[in-house]
Amino acid sequence: MRLMTLADGTVSLHVDDRPTDDDEFDSPLPYGLTLDDAVAVRAREVEVGDLVIAFTDEQFGARRVDHCPQPFPAAPTSPPGCSGRACEECAKLEAWTLADHARVADLAWRYVCLSPAEAGEPCVIERATLPVIVVRAERVERAKAASGPVRRPFSVTWSANVEAADPEEAAQLAYEQVRAQVEAATVMRWEVSEPEGEACTVTAPVAATEAGA
C-alpha cells in the first residue's frame, strides 16, 4: 500500500497494490512500471499520453481506489467525446442536461472525457475534480525506451501434407520431415500470427533453425 497526496494537499489516498489474484488483472503494468512511478491528480489535470491506472470513488465517507483491469493512455477531451456518435456514457450526460438546459454549459468544467469511445467501448467520462491515479506520459516514455521492444505472444506453425494410416503415423512422418530439414540446414517457412492478428509467412534463417535444433 502507498500513500499518495494531490499536489494541492487537499486529498490523501491509500492505494493498495495492483491485484494479482483476480482473473480481470491478468497482466502487470507495462514496461516494468509500478505504483512507485504513479501520482495522484485530478481528472482535469490528466494529460495526453498519461497512463490511467486507477480511479477513486467516495464510499461511506472514505475514498476507495479501484485499479483499472486494463490501464489505458489518456486522450483528454471535453465531453461528449465520441464525435457525435453518442455512446452509453455520453447518453447519460445528455439525459442529465435535459433536466436543466443550463447544465449544457456546465459540462466542460464539470466533466472530462479521458478516452473517447472506440472499438465498441464507451467513452471514459469522469468528474473533473475526481482524483485519478496515473503515470505521467514522460515517465511512461522513459520506461518504454528502457524496456526495449514489447514482447507479446505469437503462434508459430509449420505444416506438411503426408499420407498415413493413422494420426500417430502422420505425426511421425511430419516429425521426420522437420528433422531432415534441420539436419540438412534447409531454410524453413513458418506461419506466424499473434492473438487477433493477421498471419504471415516467415522464412527461418539457417542459423536460427540450427540454434533451435
C-alpha 97/C-alpha 94 separation (Å) is: 5
**Measured torsion, CA atoms of residues 164, 168, 169, 170, in degrees rounded to the nearest 10:** 60
Please give the pLDDT value at position 62. 65
Q: What is the C-alpha to C-alpha distance for residues 17 and 43, in angstroms, rounded to an integer?
A: 21
**pLDDT tens, residue order, the chain (213 aa):** 888 999 888 888 889 999 877 778 877 899 999 999 999 999 999 999 999 999 998 765 567 899 999 899 999 998 877 765 678 888 888 787 776 767 777 787 889 999 998 877 899 999 999 999 999 999 999 999 998 877 778 888 888 889 999 999 999 999 999 888 888 878 888 899 887 778 888 887 644 444 444
The grid coordinates listed for 95 are 439525459
SS3 114: strand
Tally Cβ neighbours within 10 Å of residue 55: 18
Angle at the Cα of 41 from the Cα atoms of 36 and 46, rounded to 5 degrees: 105
